[in-house]
């Protein structure tokens, strides 16, 4: 320990020691420490252990210690997380009653420590543990390890609650210090996964433990975090060693529980690394297989019998050392989770493709391993009052290709009585969505569909409806099996209610309980049917039922409660609510991390107070409009309005909000969609409707008309995405003020509109669906662009294994197929296409399109990727021109020629050059020789590329040093006209003399997003750029095709998102200067002779950890390497001087890496194709 510093400390003794180990977390440390400092439990002793950080973390930690006497700073040489924790414990006062740990990139909810210590005060347990949120850039999700945690458990023990075996982390716990010291706990130093060897023994050694269901911790899952590096050899060895040490501890101290723990390791701990085997290199695979085989060898031979069949077979392959089959099985499971062939009659067993000779003990199938999948796709009440439910149900892994394969019967069972059953009229119908939704390629479930009709009259008992719940189930019979299951929602977000009034204070509510469909006959005492404003009061009008005589309406929000008398006239009532009461209550502070969406209003629960004080919920009519009664006298109410509506369960909701509410979603002719609703009149400036894709966060903005508190937006989803359809997926709707930096405010669905959804319209073969999710979130779902017969993994597999081989047997066609490598580079194929057209080559030109987003040249015919035509084109086109990898199942046939243009000169390492690096995917690297063997020629853009690409791509064939075809336009005689056309397409007039700055960064491998994409990290401060340069500069931002995200914080007058512009090289012609980081566009732009600036804020990390370079980038860079927005501003202000200072480097760079480009590359490739 080198040094410590402390500011004055409170005189009263702290109750809780908080140990925070710190190592290079400057981006997260401030928020972490603020969450600790803001705890409602104020009596803390916070020890900040700096484990030799080399970034700005020490400064941040020292600043906290200087301004808050509860914080102490300690520094030591880097020794790892365990050593830092142990240092913190040693530096703490052992007389402090409680002890906890926090990782310095995580966040603690504001009252977590008060809740945990209060529980321990009341129970006397040795430690408390609590629920955990996972936190990433997409928000928070329930940590899977704690999904079982649904209720508080006081003074429990791991031997009584074995689910606690999953509770293996240190940071969601508060320990009694006496308990910690009595057992001399220390974290094992020099190892990863250091929590398990301490936490599991602590659970067993404790006399009692308190378990809190409310969340006590935000666990930030950082891409690139040391514990998330799946294929590191040290990581897998340390994890297995950690589990083994616990297993040995239990064998000695608690032998009766060792088997259960060992089983949990095979089911949970080791599976993460098992699934990483295809990605890992030889050393990783060897380490995993050796160490897990040794673990299995020390365990009971029957241990794996308690596992699911897929894990039994995998661990059997590990035992037998059948590595190749294991890796093949794991690769198969990436495409087909829990999918296998069922063989046998009464004694059924699972068979996986390519895996034979597995002992029956491992492959046997129990009843639970052939479960029923039963899902609701739509539920509506008809005009006749009957509920019609459509969906699908099948036995997983058992075919349903004909009606007789899947006979279904619906059942309603009373939740109050075992003997009350109702049969539901059910018929089997085609249900191809079942096959598509299953996401697997082995089984067809096309006749899994069902339609059920529930007549509410069936739910009467003794001739009348009685309040109670009815559970909907389905029985599936076929292939000699009969199975039954609950009918469930498609997913959690789709579990939303539908309400039908039955009259006389009764309603039928279709709802869900833990995902299971439930029909609830509900009796309500009163229902609000209208409201109005009377001066400064809100009047709620409604009807009473069942002779109820409530005395008051109680509105409650947090610690604020107001009671208002009911004025009754017969069976009618009115309640007068002073708006001032609601206005004066402070809004709920947003205490969650910034990644978590804030609340968009303050809701008041509404209950009737009955004689005697009992509370009864207050119903509301589904057609109840929001009202939107303006407030503003109280400072808390400024910009918000009082609204009173029904939620999707039909209950009254009173809230103070500015959130927009849609009450109209109407399709017109020609695929025009009109969205209308209400929005707070005085709290919105000029605004726009924002459609945001739920997966990649792409945004589309739509103009908004506003008048008298209402809004209206008109859009055509088939052309909304820059003249192209909305890409496939869910697009949620938001209102956002123009030029606002934030996400905007979600558009809610009025309950009456929700009963009319979904609303579907087909346009050009694609379905667009207006719908709601999460109860009341409005969205537009864009369906697949493929024909129904081409959709889903099963049909892709059939096309790949049957249609493609059949087409390969037919003669080649005089056709040339162009594909741009998933948008990585359409420029080179397009340039070759234009050259062949100019020569009059007698070829049919086919162009691969992706999700209708690809711009097809006029002389070519589009072929949708994944369609039957696409498979046929790959099988029969005489020539294929591609700038990326073709599918791994593609096999070049005799007479077929494949031209690989690649996507630019490589700066960052690719392919085999990444072997044994942190982000290498060895399953892809292993496939490279086979993939590159399908090429007939590799077009090299430069001699430097010739020295790199064949080696990196495992290519041993012909290399054509032609230059880059996509760069020919940079040398064209009419390039100035092309630049003018591009500027015009971007909406710039010839009189606009602003300097155009193109910002085009590459993606970051460590910023993993989803769907094979990476998170776009906006590291330029766009508002700062606009303030400094907005008068005479225009910034064009082009995210990498593999990067997901949006552009925050700058106005549309200064920033244009040109990510979807079809030709990146044409954008280069329009730009006066390029800002990039490590993108290959730098090599292309150098041909313009215009200045290059490099935003290399993470140069060392990217060079040494993430990717690395194929050349000495720092020495060769043809422009300044800049690390901040301020430096970029200064370089742009003195652009001529900046360019002059790098003129020699620029010339050398262009000569070294653009030596083959002269405007004739496409001609050379065309010569090769036609030669």
Please report, for residues 833, 927, 960, the alpha-carbon distance to residue 942 in angstroms, rounded to integers and kept in the order given.
21, 25, 10
Number of structural domains in the chain: 7
In this structure, are 1001 and 1140 located in the same domain? yes
981 located within any domain = no
269: DSSP letter: I
d(CA 627, CA 624): 8
Please report, for residues 29, 56, 62, 104, the alpha-carbon distance to residue 59 in angstroms, rounded to integers and kept in the order given.
10, 6, 5, 14
d(CA 823, CA 830): 12
d(CA 691, CA 731): 5
d(CA 1143, CA 977): 27
Residue 992's region, left for phi above 0, alpha for psi from -120 to 50, else beta, is beta
In this structure, are 938 and 1040 located in the same domain? no
Strands annotated E in 24-172: 44-50, 71-75, 98-101, 127-136, 139-142, 153-156
Strand partners, 553: 564, 608
Last residue of a domain, one of 964, 999, 1017: 964
Q: What is the pLDDT of residue 1050?
A: 62
Strands annotated E in 777-934: 777-782, 813-819, 844-849, 861-864, 877-882, 897-900
Backbone angles phi, psi at 372, to 5 degrees: -90, 135
855's tokens: 């711009």
In this structure, are 205 and 279 located in the same domain? no
Q: What is the pLDDT of residue 228?
A: 45
733's tokens: 């709707």
Give how far the C-alpha of residue 711 lies from the chain's centroid of Cα atoms, to the nearest Å: 30
Instruction: Please count the other Cβ atoms lying within 10 Å of the Cβ belonging to residue 393.
Output: 30
Q: H helices within 552-622, ranges in order?
A: 579-583
882 located within any domain = yes
In this structure, are 27 and 110 located in the same domain? yes
Q: Which residues does 472 contact at the CB level (< 8 Å), separation at least 6? A: 389, 410, 411, 412, 424, 452, 454, 486, 487, 517, 518, 519
Q: CA dihedral defined by 350, 352, 358, 363, rounded to 10 degrees?
A: -20
Instruction: Please count the other Cβ atoms lying within 10 Å of the Cβ belonging to residue 298.
Output: 12
Q: What is the CATH number of the domain that holds 1121?
A: 3.40.50.12580
Return the half-sphere exposure (C-beta side, CA atoms, 13 A cut-off) of residue 315: 30
969 located within any domain = no
d(CA 630, CA 869): 58
Strands annotated E in 545-679: 552-557, 560-569, 572-578, 601-609, 615-617, 619-620, 629-630, 641-646, 652-657, 661-667, 673-678
Last residue of a domain, one of 617, 634, 657: 657
Q: Are strands 481-486 and 488-489 parallel, antiparallel or unpaired?
A: unpaired
Residue of 1169, 1096, 1162, 1082 lying closest to 1127 (CA atoms)? 1096
In this structure, are 495 and 392 located in the same domain? yes
369's tokens: 């391993």
Q: Which residues does 253 contact at the CB level (< 8 Å), separation at least 6? A: 201, 204
Q: What is the pLDDT of residue 722?
A: 87
Q: CA dihedral defined by 284, 285, 291, 293, rounded to 10 degrees?
A: 170
In this structure, are 930 and 1049 located in the same domain? no
pLDDT, tens only, 470-488: 999 999 998 889 999 999 9
Q: What is the CATH number of the domain that holds 630?
A: 2.60.40
Backbone angles phi, psi at 520, to 5 degrees: -115, 120
What element of type H or E holds 949? Answer: helix 943-952
Sign of CA dihedral 76, 80, 85, 89: negative
Q: Which residues does 36 contact at the CB level (< 8 Å), separation at least 6? A: 18, 20, 44, 46, 102, 108
239 located within any domain = no
Q: What is the pLDDT of residue 1015?
A: 76
983 located within any domain = no
Sign of CA dihedral 28, 31, 33, 35: negative
In this structure, are 87 and 218 located in the same domain? yes
d(CA 1118, CA 1113): 9
Residue 604 and residue 146 in contact, taking contact as beta carbons nearer than 8 Å? no
974 located within any domain = no
Q: What is the CATH number of the domain that holds 958?
A: 3.40.50.11820
**Cis link prior to 155 (omega < 30° from 0)?**
no
pLDDT, tens only, 1050-1082: 677 888 889 888 889 999 999 999 999 999 999
In this structure, are 379 and 498 located in the same domain? yes
Q: What is the pLDDT of residue 984?
A: 93
d(CA 309, CA 365): 7
Backbone angles phi, psi at 539, to 5 degrees: -105, 125
| Residue segments in the chain with a per-residue pLDDT below the cut of 50 | 1-11, 226-228
State the Rg of the chain over Cα: 32
pLDDT, tens only, 238-275: 999 999 999 999 999 999 999 999 999 999 999 999 99
Residue 90 and residue 186 in contact, taking contact as beta carbons nearer than 8 Å? no
Residue of 719, 667, 726, 674 lying closest to 699 (CA atoms)? 726
In this structure, are 805 and 946 located in the same domain? yes
Q: Are strands 127-136 and 139-142 parallel, antiparallel or unpaired?
A: antiparallel
Q: What is the pLDDT of residue 136?
A: 87
d(CA 327, CA 318): 10
d(CA 428, CA 474): 12
Look at residue 847 and give its three-state secondary structure: strand
Q: Which residues does 8 contact at the CB level (< 8 Å), separation at least 6? A: 69
Look at residue 1046 and give its three-state secondary structure: coil
In this structure, are 453 and 347 located in the same domain? no
d(CA 191, CA 226): 11
Structural domain of 343? 245-368
H, E, C per residue of 782-808: ECCCCCHHHCHHHHHHHHHHHHHHHHH
d(CA 974, CA 960): 27
Please report, for residues 891, 901, 959, the alpha-carbon distance to residue 951 in angstroms, rounded to integers and kept in the order given.
21, 16, 12
Strands annotated E in 1010-1090: 1014-1015, 1033-1037, 1043-1044, 1055-1057, 1073-1076
In this structure, are 1019 and 1130 located in the same domain? yes
d(CA 939, CA 900): 6
Please report, for residues 532, 534, 561, 599, 1105, the alpha-carbon distance to residue 579 in angstroms, rounded to integers and kept in the order given.
12, 10, 14, 21, 59
Q: H helices within 883-990, ranges in order?
A: 922-932, 943-952, 975-985
Residue 673 and residue 715 in contact, taking contact as beta carbons nearer than 8 Å? yes
Helix (H), strand (E) counts: the chain: 32, 64
236 located within any domain = no
58 located within any domain = yes
Residue 695 and residue 1044 in contact, taking contact as beta carbons nearer than 8 Å? yes
Instruction: Please count the other Cβ atoms lying within 10 Å of the Cβ belonging to residue 742.
Output: 11
Look at residue 894 and give its three-state secondary structure: coil
In this structure, are 143 and 181 located in the same domain? yes
């Amino acid at each position: 320990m080198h040094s410590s510093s402390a500011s004055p400390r409170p005189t009263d003794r702290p109750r809780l020691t908080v140990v925070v180990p710190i190592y290079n977390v400057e981006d997260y440390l401030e928020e972490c420490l603020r969450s600790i400092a803001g705890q409602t439990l104020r009596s803390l002793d916070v020890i900040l252990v700096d484990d030799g950080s080399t970034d700005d973390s020490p400064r941040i930690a020292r600043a906290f210690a200087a301004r808050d006497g509860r914080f102490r700073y300690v520094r030591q040489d880097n020794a790892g997380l365990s050593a830092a924790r142990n240092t913190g414990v040693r530096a703490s006062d052992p007389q402090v009653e409680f002890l906890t740990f926090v990782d310095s990139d995580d966040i603690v909810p504001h009252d977590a420590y008060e809740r945990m210590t209060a529980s321990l005060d009341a129970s006397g347990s040795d430690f408390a543990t609590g629920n955990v949120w996972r936190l990433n850039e997409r928000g928070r999700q329930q940590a899977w390890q704690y999904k079982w945690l649904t209720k508080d458990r006081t003074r429990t023990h791991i031997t009584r609650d074995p689910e606690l075996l999953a509770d293996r982390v240190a940071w969601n716990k508060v320990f009694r210090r006496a308990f910690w010291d009595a057992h001399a706990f220390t974290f094992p130093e020099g190892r990863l996964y250091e929590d398990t060897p301490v936490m599991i023994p602590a659970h067993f050694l404790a006399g009692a433990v308190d378990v809190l269901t409310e969340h006590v911790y935000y666990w930030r899952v950082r891409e690139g975090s040391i514990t998330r590096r799946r294929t590191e050899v040290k990581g897998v060895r340390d994890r297995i060693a950690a589990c083994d040490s616990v297993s040995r501890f239990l064998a000695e101290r608690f032998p009766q529980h060792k088997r259960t723990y060992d089983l949990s390791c095979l089911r949970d701990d080791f599976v993460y690394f098992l699934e990483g085997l295809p990605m890992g290199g030889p050393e990783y695979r060897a380490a995993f297989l050796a160490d897990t085989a040794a673990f299995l060898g020390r365990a009971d031979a029957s241990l794996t019998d308690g596992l699911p069949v897929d894990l039994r077979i995998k661990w059997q392959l590990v035992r037998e050392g059948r590595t190749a089959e294991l890796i093949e099985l794991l690769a198969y499971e990436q495409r087909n989770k829990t999918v296998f062939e069922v063989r046998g009659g009464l004694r059924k067993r699972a068979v996986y493709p390519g895996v034979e000779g597995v002992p029956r003990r491992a492959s046997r199938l129990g009843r639970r391993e052939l479960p029923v999948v039963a899902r609701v796709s739509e539920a509506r009440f008809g005009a006749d009052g009957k509920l019609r439910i459509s969906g699908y149900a099948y036995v997983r892994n058992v075919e349903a290709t004909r009606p007789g394969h899947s006979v279904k019967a619906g059942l309603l069972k009373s939740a109050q009585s075992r003997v009350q059953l109702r049969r539901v009229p059910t018929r089997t119908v085609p249900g191809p969505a079942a096959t598509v939704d299953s996401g697997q390629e082995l089984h067809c479930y096309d006749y899994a569909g069902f339609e059920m009709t529930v007549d509410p009259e069936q739910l009467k008992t003794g001739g009348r409806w009685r309040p109670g719940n009815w559970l909907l189930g389905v029985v599936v019979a076929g292939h000699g099996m009969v199975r039954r299951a609950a009918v469930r929602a498609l997913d959690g977000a789709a579990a939303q209610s539908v309400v039908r009034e039955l009259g006389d204070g009764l309603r039928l509510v279709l709802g869900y309980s833990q995902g299971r469909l439930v029909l609830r006959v509900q009796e309500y005492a009163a229902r609000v049917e209208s409201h109005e404003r009377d001066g400064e009061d809100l009047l709620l009008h409604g009807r009473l039922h069942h002779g109820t005589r409530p005395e008051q309406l109680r509105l409650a929000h947090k610690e604020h409660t107001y009671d208002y008398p009911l004025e009754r006239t017969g069976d009618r009532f009115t309640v007068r609510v002073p708006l001032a009461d609601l206005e004066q209550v402070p809004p709920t502070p947003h205490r969650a991390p910034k990644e978590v969406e804030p609340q968009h209003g303050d809701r008041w629960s509404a209950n009737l107070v009955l004689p005697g004080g009992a509370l009864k919920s207050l119903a509301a009519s589904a057609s109840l409009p929001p009202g939107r009664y303006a407030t503003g006298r109280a400072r808390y109410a400024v910009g918000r309005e009082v609204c009173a509506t029904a939620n999707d369960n039909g209950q009254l909701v009173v809230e103070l909000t500015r959130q927009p509410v849609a009450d109209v979603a109407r399709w017109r002719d020609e695929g025009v969609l009109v969205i209308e609703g209400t929005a707070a009149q005085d709290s919105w400036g000029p605004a726009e409707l924002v459609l945001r894709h739920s997966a990649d966060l792409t945004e589309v903005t739509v103009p908004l008309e506003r008048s008298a508190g209402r809004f209206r937006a008109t859009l055509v989803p088939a052309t909304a995405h820059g003249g192209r359809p909305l890409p496939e997926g869910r697009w949620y709707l938001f209102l956002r003020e123009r030029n606002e930096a934030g996400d905007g405010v979600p558009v809610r669905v009025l309950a009456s509109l929700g009963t009319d959804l979904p609303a579907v319209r087909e346009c050009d073969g694609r379905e667009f669906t207006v719908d709601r999710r999460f109860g009341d979130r409005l969205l537009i779902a864009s369906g697949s662009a493929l024909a129904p017969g081409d959709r889903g993994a099963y049909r892709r597999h059939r096309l790949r294994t049957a249609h493609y081989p059949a087409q390969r047997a037919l003669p080649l066609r005089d056709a040339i197929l162009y594909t741009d490598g998933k948008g990585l580079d359409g420029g080179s194929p397009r340039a070759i296409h234009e050259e062949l057209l100019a020569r009059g080559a007698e070829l049919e030109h086919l162009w691969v399109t992706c999700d209708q987003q690809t711009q097809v040249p006029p002389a070519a015919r589009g072929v949708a990727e994944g369609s039957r035509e696409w498979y046929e084109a790959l099988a029969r086109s005489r020539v294929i021109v591609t700038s990326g990898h073709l599918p791994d199942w593609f096999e070049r046939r005799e007479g077929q020629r494949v031209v690989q243009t690649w996507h630019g000169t490589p700066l960052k390492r690719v392919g085999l050059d990444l072997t044994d690096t942190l982000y290498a995917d060895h399953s892809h690297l292993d496939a490279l020789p086979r993939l590159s063997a399908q090429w007939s020629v590799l077009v090299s853009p430069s001699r430097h590329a010739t020295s790199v690409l064949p080696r990196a791509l495992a290519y041993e064939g012909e290399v054509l040093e032609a230059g880059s075809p996509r760069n020919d336009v940079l040398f064209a005689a009419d390039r100035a006209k092309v630049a003018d056309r591009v500027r015009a397409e971007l909406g710039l007039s010839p009189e606009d003399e602003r300097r155009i700055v193109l910002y085009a960064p590459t993606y970051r491998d460590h910023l993993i997003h989803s769907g094979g994409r990476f998170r776009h990290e906006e590291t330029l401060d766009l508002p700062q750029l606009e303030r400094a340069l907005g008068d005479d500069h225009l910034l064009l931002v082009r995210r990498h095709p593999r990067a997901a995200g949006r552009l925050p914080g700058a106005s549309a007058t200064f920033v244009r998102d040109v990510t979807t512009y079809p030709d990146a090289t044409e954008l280069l012609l329009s730009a006066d200067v390029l800002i990039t980081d490590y993108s290959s566009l730098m090599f292309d732009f150098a041909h313009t002779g215009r200045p290059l600036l490099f935003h290399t804020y993470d140069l060392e990390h990217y060079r040494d950890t993430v990717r690395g370079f194929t050349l000495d980038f720092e020495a060769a860079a043809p422009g300044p390497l800049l690390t901040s927005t301020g430096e970029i501003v200064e370089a742009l202000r003195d652009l001529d001087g900046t360019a002059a200072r790098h003129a020699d480097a620029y010339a050398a760079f262009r000569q070294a890496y653009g030596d083959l480009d002269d405007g004739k590359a496409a001609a050379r490739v065309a010569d090769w194709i036609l030669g």
